[in-house]
Chains A and B, each alone.
Chain A
């Protein structure tokens, strides 16, 4: 058991430290970072899914006013390490996917760069692209592992026999579409190469919009073949990432290459919204065959999820969609499998709750179908299948409060009086229904992070190269550091967002606060151990993130339950969600207002997944044709009615010193299933393919 902190600042409802700057717009984002006479870089993208570049003529672009350089496969610098194919930019003539960077123009003004990029004359030898995902492709393959490192397949008992035996069974195919993160700030970098610094070897500074400054530095120095110390990455604010800024994408390395082509001039490279659809990652589409079998008592005898999904041919990404079916419910017979189609498509990557989010949609809708078939309330069904220990590993849970979330949520939502019959409630010209789904997200702590705490001018200053994506890091880490040091929050400053601060892990997997907080606690303990309660100015201590031994003895996850009320217009089939409530068990909450915002934000994105979001991929061209915010529909203000998030008071002594489990992702996880289940309850039409749109329920 880790020593749990005494909570004074943790749990306090403090406003954000960066609030003022954000409401005025003076917080500085990557494309706005200070720069003397910046120049602008514009990329050129391949308009074909597969082929070879036969020629690139930069001359028409170079002839334009203000153009400083045109990078092409012939002129771009040779990169030192292209073992990660995503970063092999402008290194050869192959086109692996539509949207790949094939040239970049640097010019004095934004307008000049934009126009000159259109003038670069690139010719191709086009080959037919293979871009269509389907479950019956003969070339599906099993990856060695899924993204988390877990096995792609698992099997226990005999699922097929159990399903055949029934008596109740659900065997259905569910699909989730390609989805794009679409943070409001498109990916952007300001890059400066100063050839004279670092003892004449040169230094590179990147003001990048990223979820991890150190992650970017590791990639960039490796790819360019520099020393780590030659690269500095700065990122005080990020206009949202949701996973898409978790690893650097092609734009970041291109910005670095552009900067090296115009030494001494800061280069700004901001992707357009459209460009982010092919370069900044996406959630791959999934096809999930779920099988559930149960006895008349509602106890599951089998649970299986066989997943087919896509990756790009050039770089493997195996989304861990299979994981939730391994964690959620007890059943003696279990099977999961992962099969990939490697296609000539853009490279998938992380999007908020990769794996858990699509991987909970299918099983949680299947559970709803099973509840209906058995005539058992969906909450009751989940209660009957609550496992005593982790169904796969057999480890006890450090805390598992799924049922508490379901019960508390049910009460707040007004679930108990629910009529289970679908398609029978019509008033005011709308059909009404309600639905529920469960959520899960693993509690993680990253293995590497370091923090330094110093006494400066009578204050405590903590430094850690962490990030604030809007998650509230600037404020939450102050609260944690204050409690760890046993002082008031206004005596503490925490500095983040710069590789000049000690190495910190990426803000991903809802691990930020768990990891950085644990690191700060360790640093504070070290600081107090060495300097006591009356430190002098200049005293300073460092510590790395402690390992969590309890992780070997316990399974650790956050849980939650979402409840949706859906109204479907009787004439037009328009679908609205008047109420969406979530109740979560996420350990201790560091800052209630920021936690609520995160959970509400996750649920809102889940609402988008349920009803609107769909990257329309045209297999003939190999690209997403609705690649903008007018046609890729994220929820608007008018789509979000009574949307609330709440949590139960959960004390978990095993997760970390703060007792936190991470809250960035769990909000999205069960939401789409809850909404889809409610849409069925309203209309009687079961939609198993997201998004649920009006034409599917007409």
Chain B
């Protein structure tokens, strides 16, 4: 862990300027991912700019939706009564992540930007294109149980570990960003990128861009939504796969839905193909399986010394079916 400098500026503009000015600078949110990486040698910044004191920590009503300050702790967001009522999928996703202590520390801005839990990425003694571009990918042919089945490349097969991000992806959230060149807003679905030949870039954010808020649109379908996380251990473990789903059923037909997957790709995976199959269908296991099949048509499992991850295809299919079945029942 190399020495670094530390600043805690008073406002966002100063923080952005400080990071933008140094290629080896990084924002520090709750630190639950970044401090871990400093200690592993995965991240070696020369300057940390603490943004916890300057980011908004409030959640406000916003044209029927919610504006969530990037400094809001994961625990506070999950406890918010509006989130619990109108976006239960988000509350459940947050609550299924990490532990009580970590949720008290982790921030709204930091959570979607946490990096992969790929075992090799976290171990600086092994090659990893994401950590050291061009060094190779130790995961391919290694332990791949946790790795991607969708959208991977020959350069990287990592998955995105955030639960919250899967819910935000299903909810059509917006991300507000302050950069050296001013503010911009992007769709949450555009924030993360597939690995392609540049797995070192998890997101489309430029160096120095600071997430200041996440905005949830008004979304009636989200009132009946849920997050289902599957893991070996009952708690305090990352997802093998997860499903964020919202369902609206009118007169025995699915009139609207939102579906996103976690644990299967380099990004939270919005399942638009599945949503298209669901639209107009009668809620049934058949329809749910068809939706999963459509989304997973291009799935490519990995072999591995640990048995690989082909199980994720049936597992995700059945998890999606189970989640939608429960939501449809709730609906009735």
- Is A23 part of the binding interface, using a Cβ–Cβ cutoff of 8 Å? no
* Contact call A571/B235, Cβ cutoff below 8 A: no
Residue of B117, B236, B238, B319 near A636 (CB, 8 A) is B236
- Residue in A118, A429, A575, A618 whose CB lies within 8 Å of B305: A618
The docked-state distance in angstroms from the alpha carbon of A573 to that of B319 is 10
Indicate which residue in B2, B143, B311 contacts A625 across the interface (CB closer than 8 Å): B143
With contacts A616-B143, A618-B143 taken as known, whether A574 is within 8 angstroms of B230 at the C-beta atoms is yes
Partner of A572, one of B141, B306, B318: B318
Q: Nearest chain A CB to B2's CB is how many angstroms away?
A: 6
B119 at the A interface (CB under 8 A): yes
Complexed CA–CA distance, A694 and B143 (Å): 17
A627 to B306, CA, bound (A): 14
Q: Chain B residues near A571 (CB, 8 Å)?
A: 318-319, 321-322
B307 within 8 Å of A (CB atoms): yes
Partner of B319 from the list A115, A572, A695 (CB cut-off 8 Å) is A572
Alpha-carbon distance A627/B124, docked complex (angstroms): 13
B125 at interface by CB-CB < 8 Å:
yes
Contact of B311 among A575, A611, A639, A698 (CB under 8 A): A698
> B315 and A633: CB pair below 8 A?
no
> Is B117 in contact with A630, judged by CB distance below 8 angstroms?
yes
Interface residues of A in 572-602 (CB under 8 A from B): 572-576
CB of B233 within 8 A of CB of A47, answer: no
- Residues from chain B with Cβ under 8 Å of A573 in the complex: 315
A378 CB to nearest chain B CB (Å): 26
A625 touches B120 (CB 8 A): yes
A620 proximal to B (CB < 8 A) = yes
B232–A694 touching, CB < 8 Å? yes
A695 near B305: Cβ-Cβ < 8 Å: no
Contact of A47 among B125, B142, B228, B231 (CB under 8 A): B125
Q: At the interface, yes or no: A164 with Cβ under 8 Å from chain B?
A: no
Residues of B within 8 A of A695 (CB): 307, 311, 315
**B235 near A639: Cβ-Cβ < 8 Å:** yes
B68 to chain A, nearest CB (A): 26
Report the bound CA distance from A635 to B233 in whole Å: 7
State whether B141 touches A636 (Cβ < 8 A). no
Q: Which of A612, A619, A698 interacts with B232 by CB under 8 Å?
A: A612
| Contact call A631/B311, Cβ cutoff below 8 A | no
Chain A contacts for B114, CB-based, 8 A: none
Question: Does chain A have a CB within 8 A of B1?
Answer: yes
- Interface mask (B129-160 → A, CB under 8 Å = 1, otherwise 0): 00000000010011100000000000000000
Q: Is the CB of B235 within 8 A of A636?
A: yes
Interface residues of A, count at CB 8 A: 38
Q: Digit string of B1-22 for contact with A (CB within 8 Å is 1, else 0)? A: 1110000000000000000000
Minimum CB–CB distance from B100 to chain A (whole Å) comes to 11
- Contact between B119 and A626 (Cβ–Cβ < 8 Å)? yes
**Per-residue interface assignment for chain A, residues 616 to 654, with 1 indicating a CB less than 8 Å from any chain B CB and 0 otherwise:** 111111000111101101011111000000000000000
Contacting pair B306 A616 (CB below 8 A): yes
B79 proximal to A (CB < 8 A): no
- Min distance, Cβ A424 to any Cβ of chain B, angstroms: 20
Q: Is the CB of A625 within 8 A of B319?
A: no
Chain A residues near B235 (CB-CB < 8 A): 636-639
In the bound complex, residues from chain B placing their C-beta under 8 Å from that of A575 are: 232
Secondary structure at chain B's binding surface: helix, strand, loop or mixed?
loop
- The distance from the CB of B64 to the nearest CB of chain A, in whole angstroms, is 34
Q: Are A115 and B234 in contact (CB under 8 A)?
A: no
Contact A639 B234, beta carbon cutoff 8 Å = yes
Decide yes or no: A621 and B143 within 8 Å by CB, A626-B119, A639-B233 being known contacts.
Answer: no
Docked CA distance A533–B258 (Å): 82
Q: Can you name the residue of chain A whose Cβ is closest to the Cβ of B119?
A: A625
Residues of A within 8 A of B305 (CB): 616-620
Query: Would A626 and B143 count as touching, CB distance under 8 A?
Result: yes
Q: Are A633 and B126 in contact (CB under 8 A)?
A: no
Q: Does A114 contact B (CB under 8 A)?
A: yes
Q: Which of A21-51 contact B (CB under 8 A)?
A: 47
Q: How far is the CA of A612 from the CA of B231 in the complex (A)?
A: 10
Interface size on B, residues (CB 8 A): 36
The A-contacting residues of B in range 9-46, CB under 8 angstroms, are: 41
In the assembled complex, B123 has its CB within 8 A of some CB on chain A: yes
Chain B 95-132, CB-CB to A under 8 Å as 1, else 0, gives: 00000000000000000000001011011011000000
B125 touches A115 (CB 8 A): no
Q: How far apart are B86's CB and chain A's nearest CB, in angstroms?
A: 27
* Residues B171-221 near A (CB distance < 8 A): none
B142 and A694: CB pair below 8 A? no
- The CA of A639 and the CA of B306, in the complex, are separated in Å by 23
Residues of A close to B315: CB separation below 8 A = 572-573, 694-695, 698
Q: Which of B3, B117, B234, B321 contacts A638 (CB 8 A)?
A: B234
A570 and B326 alpha carbons, distance in the complex (Å): 13
A411 contacts chain B at the CB level, 8 A cutoff? no
| A614: nearest chain-B partner, CB-CB | B306
Which residue of A is nearest B237, CB measured?
A633
In the complex, are the beta carbons of B2 and A115 less than 8 A apart?
Answer: yes
Chain A residue at minimal CB-CB distance from B316:
A572
Q: Is B314 positioned at the interface, with any CB of A under 8 Å from its CB?
A: yes
Q: Considering only CB atoms, which chain A residue lies closest to B141 in the complex?
A: A620
Q: Would you call A693 an interface residue if the criterion is a C-beta within 8 Å of the partner chain's C-beta atoms?
A: yes
Interface string of B288-332 (1 = CB under 8 A from A): 000000000000000001110001001100110110000000000
Rounded to whole Å, the gap between the CB of A85 and the closest CB of chain B is 23
A621 close to B311 (CB less than 8 A)? no
Q: Is A111 an interface residue, CB under 8 A from the partner?
A: yes
Q: Is the CB of B117 within 8 A of A633?
A: no
Asked if B1 and A111 make an inter-chain contact with CB atoms under 8 angstroms apart, the answer reads yes
| A278 to B: closest C-beta gap in Å | 11
Of chain A, the residue at the smallest CB distance from B321 is A571
Let me know if A620 and B319 touch, CB within 8 A.
no
B212 to chain A, nearest CB (A): 29
Of the listed residues B3, B41, B125, the one surrounded by the most CB atoms of chain A closer than 10 A to its CB is B125
Q: Is the CB of A611 within 8 A of B232?
A: yes
Would A621 and B138 be within 8 Å (CB), given that A637-B235, A638-B235, A698-B314 are in contact? yes
Measured CA separation A572–B234 after assembly (Å):
13
Closest Cβ of chain A to B199, distance in Å, is 18
Given contacts A573-B315, A616-B143, contact A633 B233 (CB under 8 A): yes
- Taken together as a complex, chains A and B put the C-alpha atoms of A572 and B242 apart, in Å, by 11
A612 touching B233 in the complex, CB below 8 Å, given contacts A572-B315, A619-B305, A621-B138:
yes
Per a CB cutoff under 8 Å, which of B3, B232, B306 touches A115?
B3
* Assembly CA distance A548 to B138 (angstroms): 56
Which residues from B are CB-within-8-Å of A626? 119, 143
Bound together, the chains give a CA A633 to CA B236 distance in angstroms of 9
Q: How far is the CB of B293 from chain A (nearest CB, A)?
A: 16
**A626 to B143, alpha carbons, bound, how many Å?**
9
Please, which residues of chain B bring their CB within 8 A of the CB of A617? 305
* B residues less than 8 Å from A576 (CB atoms): 234
Check A114 against B1 for contact (C-beta < 8 Å).
Answer: yes
| Complex CA distance for A620 and B120, rounded to whole angstroms | 12
CB distance from A46 to the nearest CB of B (A): 9
CB distance from A610 to the nearest CB of B (A): 11
Q: Name the distance in Å between B282's Cβ and chain A's nearest Cβ.
A: 20
Question: Contact mask A114-133 → B, CB, 8 Å, 1/0?
Answer: 11001000000000000000
Q: Is the CB of A572 within 8 A of B1?
A: no
Chain A contacts of B119 at CB under 8 A? 616, 625-626, 631
Cβ proximity bits A561-574 to B, threshold 8 Å, 1 near / 0 not: 00000000011111
21 inter-chain pairs at a CB distance below 8 angstroms, sorted by A residue, are A114-B1, A115-B1, A115-B2, A571-B318, A571-B321, A572-B315, A574-B232, A616-B305, A616-B306, A618-B142, A620-B138, A621-B125, A621-B126, A625-B126, A625-B142, A626-B143, A628-B122, A631-B117, A635-B233, A639-B235, A694-B311
Interface residues of B (CB under 8 A from A): 1-3, 41, 117, 119-120, 122-123, 125-126, 138, 141-143, 228, 230-238, 240, 305-307, 311, 314-315, 318-319, 321-322
**Other 5 A-B pairs with CB < 8 A, given A571-B322, A694-B240:** A571-B319, A572-B230, A620-B305, A693-B232, A695-B307
Which 7 pairs, one residue from A and one from B, show the smallest C-beta to C-beta distance? A571-B322, A695-B311, A638-B235, A47-B125, A638-B234, A625-B119, A571-B318
